[in-house]
Structure 1
Amino acid sequence: MQGNERSPVVLAVLLAASTLGVMGGAILVPVLEVIRGDFGVTGTAAGFILTGHGFAIAVSSPLVGRLVDRWGIRWPMIGGLVVYGLGGGAGLVVTSYPALIASRLVFGIGAAAVFSCTTIAMLAFYQGKLRDRVMGWRSTATSVGGLIWPLLGGVLGGMTWHATFAVYLIGIPLALAAVWTLPNTTARSDRPRVGVIRLMRLRPALIGWYSLWIIIAVQMYVLAIFLPQRLAEIGIRSPVLVSIYAVVGASLITSLVGLAYGRIRTRLSYPVLLRLALGSAMVGFLIYGTVSQPIVLLLTPALFGFGNGILFPVATVLVDEAAGPEHRARAASLSGTAIFAGQFASPLLFGPLIAATSTTTGFFVSAAVSALLLLIVTTRRTITSSDAAEESQRTHDSTSA
């Protein structure tokens, strides 16, 4: 590892870029109804403004992995930030719905590169306990971005909905910062290049981890889409209160857990961390499905924030360990495909279910899915070879003591 890869400036750029992933559609929510009215489109069509980029990310992420395999991290990251800024910022000037959707698809390609390259860079540049700390910091940065950028977008949207899209232009100065700071890493010429199916055959454990990513993404969007409806049913309609229950509370806890994740990881193994994260989600969904007291419901943002703060760094590292360094770029990019495919599928899967039954049924089903995942993880003592080594070392240490 080259010294400049550990530079605090490099890490700062990677963490700043990590804040961009969560604002793909979040900053547009406050002005979505204004955009819909301006273009005269249906609610479903307006929804594609929020989800279209997710489809583009899911489709283009494998291509990003191939580019990193061939060119290294530096130039795909820089190019992705430029496309992110220009594609997202195009909303400043577009005057038709088709043009806006086209710009969102272009934006999604840039977002795929930013998401994949930041993940690959952090996994490649940092190892051991330092990597655990960095992955925790990444969770914190992502959560902080989920608070700051939508707030800024809402302020700009008070002038005109076009102004909200100016937030995406942050990708341009970050691209310039990446030009000056990112090391000129290149892929090894002897590194094997395999297709998706071949990779799954070589590393079958990846199928399980990608399935986990998809399920978690589906569940998280159940919260994003249907939680406001559930809160309205029990009399919580204030936008401020809804934001606390749905976004702000969980993001604050995730940020705090991310800062402490490095220390948490030194004490707990991956299986234990996964059980804690999945158990928190299960209890959170059960509370949303059964409880109607607002004070008790405040427990749920803390539960989901705690679970997310643990799950995302753990799952990212586990995918990397399952793939191995030689397949890191392809495996990390496919994580993006899994996550955003899950987000795109969430309303398609749970929308009809909740429409035919109730929001509580949707949350009960989500709780049952979390319980099943928890059972699967609980029946496996170790998750990776490194985790098995940690368990053996802990046993040896306790015996020696």
Structure 2
Amino acid sequence: MKAATSAGRSAVLPILLLASTLTVMAGAVIAPVLEVIRNDLGLSGTAAGMILTAHGLSIAVASPVVGWMIDRWGVRVPLAGGLMLYGVAGGAGVFTSSYPALIAGRIAFGVGAAAVFAGTTVALLSYYEGEQRDRVMGWRSTAISLGGVTWPLLAGAIGGFSWHAPFAIYLIGVPLGLAGLLMLPDTGGTATKAGTPRGRILPLLGRRPALLGYYGLFVAASVLLYGLAVFVPFRLAEIGIEKPFLVALISTTASVTMSLIGFGYAKLRSSLGYSTLLRLSALSWILAFALVGTTGHAALVVVGTGLFGLGMGIVMPAVTVLIGDTAPPALRGQATALSGTASFAGQFVSPLMLGPLVDSTSVKTGFLACAGLATVLLLALLVVRITDPALSPVAEDEPEQAVA
């Protein structure tokens, strides 16, 4: 652990792991009642999908600013403030009954989610190193996936009373933000560390083009993830499964698998290289979407979503650490925040890409298109060679990082 003794406080890791679950919770809480909202408000599949992903647009736009704030002033205050905004804006859906108001609330909510996503990631990368970092990043994936089980099940259970009720779950961000403000250690930033260079992210992308490839992986993963999240409920409705709790139960299969992989990620990482891990992930996604797109049986839908979770359980910690180690510490906040831009831009465009295809053809066709995208990703990963940036760390005093 690198952040002195204060980072050893017993509450720090639980706060960061619980806060990390809120990133997947951003859409997972609403997914079980999405079909109910769609029917109640008379929405198309594309419009309903936008309720689930509209926050992705504001996350994509706000993330670079959040990253700059973290690099400039440290992670504690931006993360705590983001958690509180997340809770207030997300919880506002309890009182919202119109489609425009829902979308507006989701956009405001996304600003807080941007700080939560970048802040939790940078905090874990800053407080831990080496094998301990691999371990806590695996635990983070497990926490995220367990949140992907717990929160949707809770949402499905209370969603049977009203589709407004699940929005109240977001309110957990408020007390969690207060706890973070009081208990997280202050890492400081370039504004508080004398002699620390204040770099710029664009020159770094030119010097380290691998970062662009990692962001591309996050875009593709998010398109596929939200293709699954948005359209599995519609697929289940086609085979006669419409009760919110059952939809939530089946939809959480990916998260269960992701949890198991998270517990074992450190061992996988120690025995397999990044290239092998990422190729296995792409292969699991091909199989997952091919299966869900061709089966008419609920049990096989469960298997397919589980295969998808296997790949996500590897990609999330692997690519996050690759980005963190490729960027110098003075630019880690901005580099990590751009991964948020990539991830949530992918979430935002997913229903725009897949919605019209599904509306004009079928849900099956949409899933087979996702299998095709995963195939392209696998072919790209077979061509490129991914090296471990930790073996040749980036120097903090590179001349291109000087302040303009």
Q: TM-score range by the shorter chain?
A: 0.7 to 0.9
* Aligned residue-pair number: 386
Residues 172 and 354 from structure 1, CA distance in 2 versus in 1: closer, same or farther, beyond 3 angstroms?
closer
Give the partner amino acid of 2:77: W
Residue 123 of structure 2 corresponds to residue 121 of structure 1: yes
- Report Cα offsets for 1:334-388 as digits up to 9, x if no partner: 1111111101111211223334444443333322322232232233444334469
What is residue 12 of structure 2 aligned with on the other side? 10
User: Alpha carbons of 1:140 and 1:362: their partners in 2 closer, same or farther (altered >3 Å)?
Assistant: same
Name stretches of at least 5 consecutive residues in structure 1 with no aligned partner: 390-401
1:128 positional shift? 0.8
Amino acid of the residue matched to residue 120 of structure 1? V
- Distance change >3 Å, CA 84–CA 41, structure 1 → 2: same
Distance of 1:285 and 1:76 partners within structure 2: 37
Query: How far apart are residue 301 of structure 1 and its match?
Result: 2.6
Hey, what does 2:330 align to over in structure 1? Answer: 326
Kindly tell me: are residues 160 and 238 of structure 1, through their superposed partners in 2, closer, same or farther at Cα, counting changes over 3 Å? Answer: closer
Where in structure 1 do 4 or more consecutive aligned residues deviate above 6 Å? none
Structure 2 unaligned residues grouped into runs of 5+? 394-404
Give the residue type in structure 2 aligned to 1:220.
Answer: L
CA, structure 1 residues 14+267, in 2 after alignment: closer, same or farther (shift >3 Å)?
Answer: same
User: Using the alignment, how far apart are the partners of 2:257 and 2:210 within structure 1?
Assistant: 30
* Cross-structure match for 1:74: 76
Which residue is equivalent to 2:284? 280
SS in 2 for 1:21: helix
Equivalent residues in 2 for 1:66-215 (5 A)? Answer: 66-94=68-96, 98-188=100-190, 189=193, 190-215=195-220
Distance in 1 separating the partners of 2:32 and 2:297: 27
- Can you list the C-alpha shifts for 1:313-336, whole angstroms capped at 9, x where unaligned? 001111112223232100110111
RMSD between aligned residues: 2.7
User: Is 3-12 or 207-216 further displaced after alignment?
Assistant: 3-12
1:216 correspondence with 2:218 = no
Task: State the TM-score, normalizing by the size of structure 2.
Answer: 0.86
User: 2:118–2:337: 8 Å Cα contact kept in structure 1?
Assistant: yes
Amino acid across the alignment from 1:138:
R
Find the aligned partners of 2:358 and 2:48 in 1 and give their Cα distance: 21
2 CA distance for matches of 1:41 and 1:232? 16
Contact 2:292 2:305 (C-alpha < 8 Å) held by counterparts: no
Alpha-carbon offset, residue 202 of structure 1: 2.8
Alignment partners' CA distance in 2, 1:367 and 1:91:
34
The 2-side partners of 1:266 and 1:6 are apart by 25
Q: Does 1:370 align with 2:374?
A: yes
* Equivalent residue in structure 1 for 2:268, among 254, 264, 269: 264
Identity percentage of aligned residues: 49
Q: TM-score, normalised by structure 1?
A: 0.87
- Residue identity opposite 1:184 in structure 2: D
**Distance (Å, rounded) in 2 between the aligned partners of 1:164 and 1:244:** 15
Q: How does 1:306-345 map to 2 (within 5 A)?
A: 306-345=310-349
Within 1, Cα distance between the matches of 2:200 and 2:129?
A: 26
Q: Which moved more, 1:11-20 or 1:349-358?
A: 349-358
CA contact (8 A) 2:75 2:187 kept: yes
Q: Given that residues 84 and 109 in structure 1 are in contact (C-alpha distance below 8 angstroms), is that contact kept between their aligned partners in structure 2?
A: yes
Distance 2:310 2:16 in 1: 23
